[in-house]
Amino acid sequence: MAGIYIHIPFCKTRCSYCDFYSSIDISIKNKLIDCLCKELISEKQYIGEEAIETIYFGGGTPSLLDEKDFEVIFNTINSNYDTSQCIEITLEANPDDLDLDYILMLKKFPFNRISIGIQSFMDKELKLINRRHTSEQAINAVTLCQHNGFENISIDLIYGYPSQALVDLSMSIDIALKINPKHISAYHLSYEKDTVLENKLRRKEITAIDEETSNEMFKLFVSELKKHGFLQYEISNFSQQGFESKHNSSYWNGRKYLGIGPSAHSYNQLTRKWNVSSINDYVRGIDENKCIFEFETLTLNDKYNDYIITSLRTLKGASLERIEKDFGDKLLENCFQSAAKHINNNILVIQDGYLRFTSTGILLSDGIIADLLFVD
């Protein structure tokens, strides 16, 4: 089983924190759709004869696509892939795109999951990051989807805004719980190089929150969502029972996936490849039948490092039996030696044959994962 990710690199406006590849010029949209379909056909052997389990439209802003665009893409997928076992098809959407007409149009297609980029229910925070919707629009978008046949709704929230108070985050969480999404992703605001927000930080126009406050905000997320029946199945992802993101889980579980579109990444357990991060170069490459991607063949050490990075982000953790079976005694010993001090400090724990983070360790996860990687 494998997944397909389709990157739609268009946005109406540019968020001040975002460094994902996208463009506000949508004049080339029709041409891009044509090239996406050509790549779906030309690269289908990358994942072999695997049946497709999940399809994910990400971006950018996939909710800028119209009925004709979806029809062409789905026709291409269904004509070239085995979708008979596909159980999850997700569309990322902006709240202000989700009016009744658009939602009813989506019902004509096999979408069964909507991921809405809300980011905050505080209008002052939305304004700071240059989001083009308001809190009211976000609430209305979720409600409209729920009332028109979409049960499986995920929302993204960001915490750690400059000078954000715990009470502000608490209010956003309360509103989120009241509208009852099935899945919530909680991401800390990051200051990516050369973004508008990072430039403001360097000019001292804004002040980042301190680490202690950041940790308290994460703990608030965890405690409030767990209190309301959400499972923290991955460090930044919470779901009601049975509503985990199956597509994103395939990344963490090491399954094959094919990435389509500018800057999209693919993985087939033997190699990793990534497309050029330019719409114009992508389109030109497809038109001229030239290589639009770079790739690398994965060594045993690469595969081990990938497994550590992905598995430790999950609730289950890293299977010591799998490390021994798939990567050998040397890398298992590396794992034990690297983990020992963190186990002694109650940051990692071994339970039921799995190495996983404690609640304290989750707050330090990035650094600990780096410690466990094997470096030649």
pLDDT of residue 40 exceeding 70:
yes
pTM higher than 0.85, yes or no?
A: yes
Domains of the chain by residue range:
2-250, 301-376
pLDDT of residue 73 exceeding 70:
yes
Give the SS3 label for residue 358.
coil
End-to-end CA distance of the chain: 32
Q: Domain 2-250: which topology?
A: pyruvate-formate lyase- activating enzyme (3.80.30)
pLDDT of residue 17 exceeding 80:
no
Among the residue ranges 35-39, 99-103, 147-151, 194-198, the one predicted with the least confidence is 194-198
pLDDT of residue 14 exceeding 80:
no
Tell me the per-residue pLDDT of 129-178, one tens digit each, with 9 for 90 and over.
Answer: 999 999 999 999 999 999 999 999 999 999 999 989 999 999 999 999 99
What's the chain's average pLDDT?
95
What pLDDT sits at residue 21? 65
Tell me the per-residue pLDDT of 231-285, one tens digit each, with 9 for 90 and over.
Answer: 999 999 999 999 999 999 999 999 999 999 999 999 999 999 999 999 999 999 9
CA distance 134 to 126: 7
pLDDT of residue 317 exceeding 80:
yes
> Do 2-250 and 301-376 have matching folds?
no
Residue type, position 110, single letter: P
Residues contacting residue 164 through CB under 8 Å, at least 6 positions apart: 125, 209, 213, 217
pLDDT of residue 22 exceeding 90:
no
pLDDT more than 90, % of the chain: 90
CA distance 77 to 211: 45
Counting Cβ atoms within 10 Å, is residue 342 exposed (0-12), middle (13-18) or buried (19+)? Answer: buried
pLDDT of residue 20 exceeding 80:
no
Tell me the per-residue pLDDT of 59-70, one tens digit each, with 9 for 90 and over.
Answer: 989 999 999 999
Quick one: CA torsion of 309, 312, 314, 319, rounded to 10 degrees? 110
What pLDDT sits at residue 219? 96
User: Where does 301-376 sit in CATH, by number?
Assistant: 1.10.10.920
Tell me the per-residue pLDDT of 83-138, one tens digit each, with 9 for 90 and over.
Answer: 999 999 999 999 999 999 999 999 999 999 999 999 999 999 999 999 999 999 99
